[in-house]
Amino acid sequence: MRVGVLFGGRSGEHEVSLNSARNVMDALQRAGHTVIPIGIGRSGRWLTGGDPMARLSDRLAGDAGHVNGREQTSWALLPQAGTREALPELDVVFPVLHGTYGEDGTVQGLLEMANLPYVGCGVLASAVAMDKLVAKQLFAQAGLVQVAYVGVRRRQWRADPDAVVATVEHALDYPLFVKPANLGSSVGVSKAGNRTELAAALGLAATYDAKIVVEAAVPHAREIEVSVLGNDDPQASVPGEIVPGNEFYDYAAKYVNDNSRLIIPAALDDATTAYVQSMAVRAFQAVDAAGLARVDFLLDDQSGEIYLNELNTMPGFTRISMYPKLWEASGVSYPELVDRLLTLALEHYAERQENSTEFALAGSNIE
């Protein structure tokens, strides 16, 4: 198949996307597919032709050869003035984009408008899962256990930071985790053990997003993750455990340092394994996900309580990323995994094509 692979993007997870896409494109090529690389610069400009990956990897290269500016280009996703032809025919698009402007339903909506099949969740699930505050409300409605949390708006923080700190302290006990609501890869996440650290953490998170989540920390926490694959009948992988080398599994621990350990499968008894797998599938269905997701949990090692942490609709796809490694441990190799994702994308697209877009009232000439 001809597979368009989207990577880069405007989010703080731009570099993570490049690392994931390199591995995805390699696996697709080894599986016999034709890869059409499509880069998105930090400015939002789309790049194709030549080697978009190399241009995006070189910060000094700029956005030369971009698609959606005034210069003439060889193609555009949606034809416009100055373009000579539309995007070459693609069988499916694999949007290896993490974070805002890629994993949040925006690109999915564009691909829907262009009537292109694509890997992963649709507009609704992508948007909901990206916004941690909205996702938490849906998870609660589905009866999934979560840690206590408080939502904060950036405008509230800027207008009266003391009042925000007081509200958080009234609702939650230290230590706390502070996160931008619409980012992944632990970008902008901080742990706060007192009022001074909380204020600093809120200020940092507010630089990344207009919505902030403050969560109660789980004592004696073990970080458990489950990969989910499928559409109407999603399957859960064996669980894995992350033992972070840092105080918690932050961006540096995930992508920079080499001091975190992945334990696959996680050392859980059969009942706990079945429980987290069931919770992962329920969370997947709660947001109407499709294709893939990684579902993260926190396990209190003393009480045994398990908390749903979050759901990621386009998890990392590097060779050391948990999502593909969990499926490998479950008997699905990396090349087989990307092939399955393409098949699921086409199935999901075919189902959407069954929806009628024509309607006329009886006796009406309006079409």
What is the domain-level CATH number for residue 320? 3.30.470.20
Given a cut of 70, the residues of the chain with pLDDT beneath it are 59-88, 184-186, 246-259, 360-367
What does each C-alpha distance from 144 to 42, 209, 214, 310 come to in angstroms? 36, 26, 18, 11
Q: Does residue 99 share a domain with residue 188?
A: no
Q: Which pLDDT score is estimated for 354?
A: 87
Q: Does residue 212 share a domain with residue 236?
A: no
CA–CA dist 78, 123 (Å, integer): 18
Domain boundary among 118, 137, 168: 118
Q: Which pLDDT score is estimated for 357?
A: 77
- The answer to whether residue 125 is domain-embedded is no
Edge-to-edge order in the sheet of strand 34-40: 46-47, 34-40, 2-8, 92-95
Domain boundary among 69, 96, 118: 118
Q: Domain containing 181 — which CATH number? A: 3.30.1490.20
User: What domain count does the chain have?
Assistant: 3
3-state secondary structure of 86: strand
Domain boundary among 195, 216, 237: 216
For residue 203, report the phi and psi dihedrals to the nearest 5 degrees: -65, -40
Q: Do the Cβ atoms of 38 and 48 come closer than 8 Å?
A: yes
CA–CA dist 8, 96 (Å, integer): 8
For the record, the structure tokens of 204 come out as 């940092």
Q: Domain containing 108 — which CATH number? A: 3.40.50.20
Q: Which pLDDT score is estimated for 196?
A: 98
Q: Does residue 240 share a domain with residue 206?
A: no
Q: Does residue 300 share a domain with residue 212?
A: no
Q: Do the Cβ atoms of 76 and 67 come closer than 8 Å?
A: yes
Give the tens place of pLDDT for each residue, 122-151: 999 999 999 999 999 999 999 999 999 999
CA–CA dist 202, 192 (Å, integer): 9
CA–CA dist 325, 331 (Å, integer): 10
Q: Does residue 328 share a domain with residue 281?
A: yes
Residues of the chain above pLDDT 90, percent: 72
β-sheet bridge partners, residue 5? 37, 94
Q: Does residue 101 share a domain with residue 32?
A: yes
Q: Does residue 30 share a domain with residue 6?
A: yes
For the record, the structure tokens of 210 come out as 């207009």
Q: Does residue 260 share a domain with residue 207?
A: no
Q: Does residue 257 share a domain with residue 332?
A: yes
Q: Which pLDDT score is estimated for 73?
A: 42
CA–CA dist 204, 189 (Å, integer): 8
For residue 230, report the phi and psi dihedrals to the nearest 5 degrees: 140, 180
Q: Does residue 342 share a domain with residue 301?
A: yes
Q: Does residue 82 share a domain with residue 10?
A: yes
Instruction: Domain of residue 272: give its range.
Output: 221-353
- The answer to whether residue 133 is domain-embedded is no
Q: How many residues does the chain have?
A: 367
